Amino acid sequence: MRRVVITGLGMVTPLGSDVETVWANILASRSGARPITRFDATDYVCRIACEVLRGDGSGETFNADTRVDYKVQRQVDPFIIYGIDAAGQAIEDAGLTDMTEEERFRAGCSIGSGIGGLPGIESESLVLAAKGPRRVSPHFVHGRLINLISGQVSIKYGLMGPNHAVVTACSSGAHAIGDAARMIALDDADVMLAGGAEGAICPLGIAGFSQAKALSTGYNDDPTRASRPYDKGRDGFVMGEGAGVVVLEEYERAKARGAKIYAEVIGYGLSGDAWHVTAPHPEGSGAFRSMAMALKKSGLSTADIDYVNAHGTSTPMGDELELGAVRRLFGADLGNLSMSSTKSAIGHLLGGAGAVESIFCVLAMRDQVAPPTLNLDDPSDACIGVDLVPHTAKPRRIRAVLNNSFGFGGTNATLIMRGV
């Protein structure tokens, strides 16, 4: 099998819209949780979210005009706009914006989403109800479809290799990277833009997740304290939005052109809980098997893995089940491990989470620092003996990293990466 490395990074998040700004904010323990501004949330049980702030691109803001055409912006949902921009950052970072036609035949896209164009489906439904079918936008369908990030990005950069989009709820981003890495390993492509995006902060999205009892509702007046994975006071996740995209490249090709190589993708695991649509398996068996599969593929042992970026959404049940699975897998090596949830800072990016968090894993290795779990004031009893990096970033040796993402439907994905 061919080796696959990461040679470009891009992200749009509630804490900024370029990799270095976001990472600096993560390491500075900043939170992107704020009162919802996208719509009037007065009557909602959850009135907070981690929104991407539109602006001129400076500080924590995102300027869609930088990489997304005016007409495209008008026609598509926010998740596609975030995805196009993150993909653009990544391909620019990799230095691959001027590939030859031959190279572009072998370069593709695998950028997924969990939900897709929910805000646009919601608003256009209201147009249909109020004004009838002849007022529905001709751009409605292709402006909402999940695979239209990959579609738009392929058109923008002329990428004619595999054009794919993963939909596995909150593990979409991680599955997209894992699947794309396999396409390169199996010689279907040499370069893949891979990742995930989400933009579902809208009345229907917040109401739907609230009714599923998934969102935090107890910290509406103190939003930065709401996302608190592993803490006894946690009461649900805070919805985030944004996108993460990496450039995956076949190792020999990357080496030959002198590319900057961030990391090698060495392990990928996938599993299903076969248990419940929203609740994780009570013994964390799916999470365990996903991690075990990735570990086996990587050829590493648990002693080699220094940092885990947890799924850790801040829900009462999920956090401890994942922790239990990690405890079971790592055994005596747990004492060496640092594990944190960056969802404490940027919220839960759903289909974008696994991609953005994989990038955090790569940066943790680059800078030899574990990002913090914010708000971990009073850890649950299950956390004893695990370094969850409370409150502040922790400099430490990081040789290899593991990223977990789990989704509704009982779907699990794990990626393992190491330096080259």
Partner 1 sequence: MSDVADRVKKIVVEHLGVEADKVTEDASFIDDLGADSLDTVELVMAFEEEFGVEIPDDAAEKILTVKDAIGFIAANAKG
Q: What residues line the site for partner 1 (CB under 8 A)?
A: 69-71, 74, 134-135, 137-139
For 65, 102, 149, the CA distances from 88, given in Å and listed in that order, are 12, 20, 11
Complex with partner 1: residue 1 or 71, whichever CB lies closer: 71
Q: Which two tokens stand for residue 197?
A: 């995006």
Cα(250)–Cα(236) distance, integer angstroms: 39
Complex with partner 1: residue 77 or 241, whichever CB lies closer: 77
Please give the DSSP secondary-structure letter assigned to residue 339. Answer: E
User: Shortest Cβ distance from residue 69 to partner 1 (Å)?
Assistant: 8
User: Shortest Cβ distance from residue 68 to partner 1 (Å)?
Assistant: 11
Query: Does the annotation mark 202 as catalytic?
Result: no
Residues 5 and 263: beta-carbon distance below 8 Å: yes
CA atoms within 13 A on the CB side of 400: 19
R_g over Cα of the chain: 20
Q: Which two tokens stand for residue 194?
A: 């891979």
Complex with partner 1: residue 73 or 220, whichever CB lies closer: 73
User: Shortest Cβ distance from residue 81 to partner 1 (Å)?
Assistant: 15
User: Shortest Cβ distance from residue 70 to partner 1 (Å)?
Assistant: 3
CA atoms within 13 A on the CB side of 250: 18
Residues 6+ apart with CB under 8 A from 258: none
Which one-letter amino acid corresponds to residue 141?
V
Nearest alpha carbon to residue 82 among 21, 28, 16, 23: 16
Q: Is 244 left (phi over 0), alpha (psi -120 to 50) or beta?
A: beta
Q: Which two tokens stand for residue 23?
A: 């990472």
Q: Choose, from 46, 50, 109, 170, the residue flagged as catalytic.
A: 170
User: Shortest Cβ distance from residue 66 to partner 1 (Å)?
Assistant: 15
User: Shortest Cβ distance from residue 75 to partner 1 (Å)?
Assistant: 8
Q: Which two tokens stand for residue 34?
A: 């704020």
Complex with partner 1: residue 127 or 292, whichever CB lies closer: 127
Complex with partner 1: residue 54 or 366, whichever CB lies closer: 54
Complex with partner 1: residue 117 or 410, whichever CB lies closer: 117
Tell me the catalytic residues. Answer: 170
